[in-house]
């Protein structure tokens, strides 16, 4: 039988009556396992009961069967709600018994639970959302693990993804927590010690204990507001829808204007009358006839010009032939005359040269210039 069951006080007195007492119990068993016979595993409700009584790891603690289940413990919704309004201004609301908080549609808020957890070095914690909230469309930002050695309050984000506001009431169950005992370590195991072990246990950092919500926000957001992006997305969609509607109206107006213009043109066309239409057809036919006549005249002129050109071309070729024949005859005649002249010149050069004798004149001769002429 464990030590807690040996007390001759009521069950309620098994647990710390105030935070100071819980802190004192934790200081004794923080690194000393009061129940080394409990093997490393997910703790059942009896183990949770005894460890809370001995170590003060949950304060305040309600041991009733409505809060303890086979392997988990329900934490009530008490504490502070942190959120940012539409103007991105941070707001804090204290949730006390009977008070309600409207978690707006498509919004996010952070719950700093009033319950204080002090986890010994050999126990880790996990938590999950109460199923009724899940069925109503809420989501809980659960961390994968709360490490052993953690001391302080849990800061949990709540998401309302529905299209309606959701009221949460202070005092109702919010989450179920479960505890897992780690494998033995010589630091808290008071039984056999293996001197050949070389692994070193790393304790929870002191700076991570008892952090206020502002410290979490300062480290995570760097002063920026934390709000859901869904409302802004809806606003963007609404703006896009309005712009599309405006474009559709403008297109409809333009279509109506075009239709009206077509109708006006149609009415004007029919207003001309049958006579005007016949006149228009006759005018078009006359123009067509003139164009055809002009084309025919042009074709005849081109045909006549082509014939005259062919005749001129034939005459020019004939005269060119006659000119070439006459020039050839003339050239042959000149060549014959040149040959005759060459023959005469050759004959003259071949005949003997005759020496000429100058006449002799004597005095008294009949040929003498001094002769006395007859009287």
The tens digit of pLDDT for each residue in 315-344 reads 878 877 877 787 788 888 888 888 888 888
Q: In DSSP terms, which residues pair with 93 in a beta bridge?
A: 81
Range of lowest pLDDT (52-56, 206-210, 245-249, 371-375): 371-375
Contact criterion met (CB below 8 Å) for 149 and 187: no
Alpha-carbon separation of residue 175 from 38, 66, 79, 131, 211 (angstroms): 25, 13, 13, 9, 20
Most confident of 56-65, 126-135, 295-304: 56-65
Q: Would you say 141 and 216 are in contact if contact means Cβ atoms under 8 Å apart?
A: no
Calculate the alpha carbon distances from 48 to 112, 115, 121, 189, 191 in Å: 23, 16, 15, 19, 22
Q: Residues 12-16: what's their mean pLDDT?
A: 83
Q: 191 Cβ partners below 8 Å, 6+ apart?
A: 36
Buried-state track 52-70, b at ≥16 Cβ within 10 A, e below 16? bbbbbbbbebebeeebbee
**Whole-angstrom Cα distance, residue 371 to residue 126?**
188
CA terminus-to-terminus distance, the chain = 221
Handedness of CA 206, 208, 209, 212 (dihedral sign): positive
Residue 91 phi, psi (nearest 5): -125, 145
Please state the pTM of the whole predicted model.
0.53
pLDDT band at residue 219 under the 50/70/90 scheme: low
How wide is the angle at C-alpha 201 spanned by C-alphas 195 and 203, nearest 5°? 150
Overall residue count recorded for the chain in this entry: 375
Q: What is the pLDDT of residue 7?
A: 41
* pLDDT confidence bin for 73, thresholds 50/70/90: very high
Q: Give the per-residue pLDDT at 25.
A: 96
Question: For residue 32, what pLDDT is reported?
Answer: 93
Whether the pLDDT of residue 193 is over 50: the answer is no
| Predicted confidence (pLDDT) at residue 206 exceeds the cutoff of 90 | no
Q: pLDDT at position 294, please?
A: 72
Nearest to 134 by CA among 103, 99, 161: 161
> In this predicted model, which residue has the larger pLDDT, 63 or 375?
63
What pLDDT was estimated at residue 30? 94
DSSP 150: -
pLDDT higher than 90, residue 313: no
How far is it, in rounded angstroms, from Cα 83 to Cα 157? 10
Query: pLDDT exceeding 90 applies to what percent of the chain?
Result: 25
Better-scored residue on pLDDT, 4 or 251: 251
Q: How much is the pLDDT for 147? A: 94
Mean pLDDT of the chain: 76
Do the Cβ atoms of 115 and 58 come closer than 8 Å? yes
């Amino acid at each position: 039988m464990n030590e807690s069951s040996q007390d001759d006080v009521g069950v309620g007195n098994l647990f710390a009556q105030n935070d100071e007492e819980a802190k004192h119990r934790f200081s004794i068993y923080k690194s000393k396992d009061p129940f080394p016979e409990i093997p490393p595993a997910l703790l059942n409700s009896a183990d949770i009961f005894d460890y809370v009584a001995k170590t003060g790891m949950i304060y305040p603690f309600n041991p009733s069967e409505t809060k303890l289940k086979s392997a988990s413990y329900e934490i009530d919704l008490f504490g502070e709600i942190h959120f940012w309004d539409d103007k991105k201004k941070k707001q804090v609301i204290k949730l006390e018994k009977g008070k309600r908080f409207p978690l707006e549609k498509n919004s996010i808020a952070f719950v700093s639970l009033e319950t204080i957890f002090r986890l010994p070095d050999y126990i880790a914690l996990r938590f999950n959302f109460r199923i009724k909230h899940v069925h109503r469309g809420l989501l809980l930002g659960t961390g994968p693990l709360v490490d052993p050695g953690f001391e302080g309050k849990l800061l949990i984000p709540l998401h309302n993804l529905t299209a309606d506001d959701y009221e949460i009431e202070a005092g109702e169950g919010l989450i179920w927590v479960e505890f897992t005992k780690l494998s033995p370590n010589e630091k808290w195991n008071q039984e056999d010690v293996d001197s050949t072990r070389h692994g070193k246990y790393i304790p929870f950092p002191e700076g991570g204990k008892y952090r206020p919500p502002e410290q979490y926000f300062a480290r995570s957001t760097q002063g920026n507001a934390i709000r859901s992006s869904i409302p802004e997305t809806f606003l963007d969609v609404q703006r896009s829808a309005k712009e599309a509607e405006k474009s559709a109206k403008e297109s409809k107006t333009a279509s109506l204007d075009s239709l009206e213009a077509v109708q006006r043109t149609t009415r004007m066309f029919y207003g001309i009358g049958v006579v005007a239409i016949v006149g228009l057809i006759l005018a078009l036919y006359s123009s067509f006839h003139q164009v055809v006549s002009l084309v025919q005249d042009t074709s005849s002129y081109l045909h006549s010009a082509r014939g005259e050109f062919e005749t001129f071309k034939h005459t020019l070729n004939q005269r060119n032939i006659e000119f070439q024949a006459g020039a050839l005859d003339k050239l042959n005649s000149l060549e014959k005359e040149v040959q005759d002249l060459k023959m005469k010149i050759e004959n003259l050069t071949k005949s003997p040269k005759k020496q000429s004798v100058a006449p002799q004149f004597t005095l008294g001769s009949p040929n003498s210039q001094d002769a006395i002429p007859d009287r």
